[in-house]
A = this chain, B = another copy of it.
Amino acid sequence: MESSGGHPEAMVPPIEGVAGGGTAYGWGESGIQDPNLLRTSIDPLKVHSSELVHAWCMPSTANVGSQDMPRTLEPISLLAARNERENFQIAIRPKVSWAGSTVAGTVQMQCTDLCSTSGDRLLVGESLKVRRVVPILGVPDALVPLEVPVSQLTLLPGETTAVYVSIDVPEIQPPGQYEGEFIITATRADTQYTVQSPNKAERNHMYQELLTCLDFLEPIDGKPLDEVAERVKCASSSLRKVLEMPSFSDLYLDNGSGDMMEEDAISNFSIRVKLSLTVWDFVLPVTPSLPAVIGISDTVIEDRFGVEHGSSQWYEALDEHFQWLLQYKISPYFCRWREGMRVLTYTCPWPADHPKSDEYLSNPRLAAYAVPDSPVVSCGDTATNFLQREVELLRTKNHWRKAYFYLWDEPLNLEHYEAIRNMASEIQAYAPDARIMTTYYCGPSDAPLASNNFESFLKVPEFLRPHNQIYCTSEWVIGNREDLAKDIIAEIQPENGEEWWTYVCMGPADPHPNWHLGMRGTQHRAVMWRVWKEGGTGFLYWGANCYEKASVPSAEIKFRRGLPPGDGVLYYPGQVFSSSAEPVASLRLERLLSGLQDIEYLKLYSSRFGREEGLQLLEKTGMYLGPERYTNEHMPIDVMRGEVFRTCRSDSNF
């Protein structure tokens, strides 16, 4: 046939009956048992919630999108060490619409404490938290806190909603088997959920009616009894009218006892998601084994929250961010860009002689901290004086071993590299043991250190020595050539206190591990697997709050032009999503934490059986073989963790 060029399927008949729609009809299983109950107006209190919604569980590494299709609901079984956070997701999708409004319906989700057979508990609200997964640029990412133990979720027609469940196991939690459940119940369309209902008119009506009622009652002083009686009668009648208004219909149907109704509904018609959690006797170290230092832009905080640099509100705002981020087992540093690519970085906004300094820097959850090389807040002192005083004070402290100076972001030429050497020598004049960290992905371009780019990059330690201790290189340089990590390590002198750290930012791009929006969940989590496998001893990420400038806390989040979406943004201002000012984590930040926790598992295993066995474990579970060969599925992660549990748990305990 002449026209077949454009048609790979040329003249192949369509599947019989499909093109015409005939026999293809009716294969779908709606899962609805009794359509008669649902034919007209649906009362969710009279049917089992499983008739109205699909609910199913997903692992934490799944990106559950609005178009994700239902799966079978199965009980969830998790493993967690002490001082570990473990997560999973519950997805819900309406089968029908029952709200009679533009939403499909509302479900209530209730969660219970997790209880062990010996009576120990993981408490809802403390250990157990639930957050709604909200899309950013259409991709599931923001985790907006839901109330516990009971929260309401609005479901939209044809859209899957996901809830992210996190369990933080306290360090002192007794090991054992903990059980709990999540109870999902379709609810009546409460007035507050019926978008576009003419509710204001009704409230207005109610308000006027109550005012009328009050008018009857107020001026009775000195009135004769019969007039008072008449007025009271009118008032009563007004009141009755108000009480019969639709706003209260759900209340008077159950005699105003809302709680009883909910109890009732739960016992008979709810979907129950069973959760079983094994807490084992491994305690994740309070101080993370691998320092993951993450930049927080103070400028972004100043602009968005309207706090003036150095004001008391500014210190408060920075403190809130710092404290909140510590739960992610990262070591935050605040950062502002200066001329060129010089950076002013500092973990503690207060100077070393301020009481807050010790409080911050001796915090055991901090694995490393940045020391500023000039005053963060102008103090009427010269930069040199400031530096000398800071350094001389800090180096007397026990926490000094965690200190580093991060002075320049990605030097490119001789001038940059010279500047770093000069700044470093000034610092090291006051403290010879001060550690300087430099991020880079190439040697000086105008005076190559070797005959090709990669060799020149490799020679940076030789070139910077002794002015630099932490060589922090881009994973992008390694690409898919994992073996190059060995060449880099060969240039490092750990015996002289040198370390090799890595970082990701714009690069590496897909399919390599990174934290860009739109990458797979295991790809986010694999950033840390990669670090552990390649043998780096620390990790840097340039920005966790580096979205575009805005001057209003609740302003829409925009990613910076020229950056891949999500790059430099690991959490969001709470005000964008609710009235709460508490920051909102991204799924990617949770996966960073999970990855750091995976490192503790791998480290434990390697401490027992050697690093080679640890690498073997990564490989044989299929979890991570290289930057382009890691699991898309969650299962291998659980297999790895299960294997560490099986082989490393103490026999005496649990």
Contact = CB atoms under 8 A, between A and B. Distances in A.
A242 B203 CA distance: 12
Contacts of A11: 441-442, 453
Interface in A516-551: 542-543, 546, 548-551
B256 A30 contact: no
A484 B6 CA distance: 13
B7 A98 contact: no
A380 interface: no
Interface stretch (A19-27, A395-403, A428-436, A640-648): A19-27
A96 B575 CA distance: 9
Contact of A19 (B190, B220, B506): B506
A331 interface: no
Across the A-B interface, give the 5 residue pairs with the lowest CB-CB distance, nearest first: A100-B579, A22-B337, A35-B551, A28-B548, A192-B199
A544 to B, nearest CB: 11
Interface residues of A, number: 155
B95 A556 contact: yes
Given A243-B207, A479-B3, A18 B506 contact: yes
Interface stretch (A130-138, A320-328, A460-468, A617-625): A130-138
A362 interface: no
A447 interface: no
Interface string A149-189: 00110100110000000000000000000000000000000
Contacts of A24: 560-563
A166 to B, nearest CB: 18
Contacts of A97: 554, 575-578
A208 B603 CA distance: 59
A193 interface: yes
Given A21-B560, A225-B225, 10 more contacts: A2-B481, A7-B479, A13-B442, A27-B560, A97-B578, A136-B158, A191-B192, A207-B256, A214-B239, A225-B228
Interface string A437-460: 000011001000000111001000
Interface in A1-56: 1-7, 9-11, 13-28, 30, 32, 35-36, 38-42
Interface in A56-102: 65-67, 93-98, 100-102
B19 A410 contact: yes
B577 A157 contact: yes
B7 A42 contact: no
B192 A554 contact: no
A447 B570 CA distance: 66
B243 A3 contact: no
Nearest to A94: B556
A560 B25 contact: yes
Contacts of A28: 548-550, 558, 560-561
A56 B235 CA distance: 50
Contact of A152 (B18, B195, B213): B195
Contacts of A575: 97
A472 interface: no
- Interface of A (DSSP majority class): loop
Nearest to A343: B20
A21 B546 contact: yes
A220 B208 CA distance: 25
A553 interface: yes
Nearest to A157: B576
A22 B204 contact: no
B132 A554 contact: no
Contact of A240 (B144, B214, B484): B214
Contacts of A35: 306, 551-552
B200 A157 contact: no
A229 interface: yes
A157 B142 CA distance: 11
Contacts of A18: 506, 560, 562-563
With a 10 A CB-CB cut-off, give which of A19, A220, A553 has the most chain B CB atoms. Answer: A19
Given A21-B546, A67-B138, A98-B554, A217 B204 contact: no
A248 interface: yes
Given A337-B17, A548-B27, A578 B100 contact: yes
Nearest to A28: B548
Contacts of A549: 25-28, 30
A197 interface: yes
Nearest to A300: B25
